[in-house]
Amino acid sequence: MSEALDDVRFLLDVNVGRTVKEFLENEGYDVSWMAEIDPRMDDTSILSLAVAEKRVLITVDKDFGDLIFNQGFAHAGVIRLEDTFPHVQVQYLRTLLKEHGKELLNRMIVLDSGRIRIRFT
């Protein structure tokens, strides 16, 4: 098990699977999962929950970028994963945490095609 960053906690959207959840938990992170909280919660409420609990949201949903950049919704950080196989998503996250673990809070991060794009918001 690697050493998780103490100040980073995650909220997983319903479209993020158990494989990602278990990977993050095995790495020592505090993880909440919308599938266990309220699978029908709308996106704006999910963002509000993540802010209230100071959690970085991990999702496959592209709509969160619109909510943040175009509609001005607050967030504690969002990581958008490529809609691909769970083991590939875990590889992307493993790389992100290793190379940019201290840059997750209050950022919009997109992981796709093996690339990491980090935007300040």
pLDDT class of 120 with cuts at 50, 70, 90: confident
User: What letters, b where the CB count within 10 A reaches 16 and e where it falls short, cover 10-30?
Assistant: bbbbbebbeebbebbeebebe
- The whole-number pLDDT of residue 1 equals 42
- Is residue 91 a part of any domain in this protein? yes
What domain range is 72 assigned to? 9-120
- The whole-number pLDDT of residue 5 equals 62
- Is residue 17 a part of any domain in this protein? yes
Indicate the range of 34-38, 87-91, 111-115 predicted with least confidence.
111-115
- Is residue 39 a part of any domain in this protein? yes
Residue pLDDT, tens place only, 10-34: 999 999 999 999 999 999 999 999 9
Find the CATH number of the domain harbouring 15: 3.40.50
- Domains identified in the chain, total number: 1
φ, ψ of residue 33 to 5 degrees: the values are -130, 125
- Is residue 2 a part of any domain in this protein? no
- The whole-number pLDDT of residue 97 equals 95
The answer, as to whether pTM is greater than 0.85, is yes
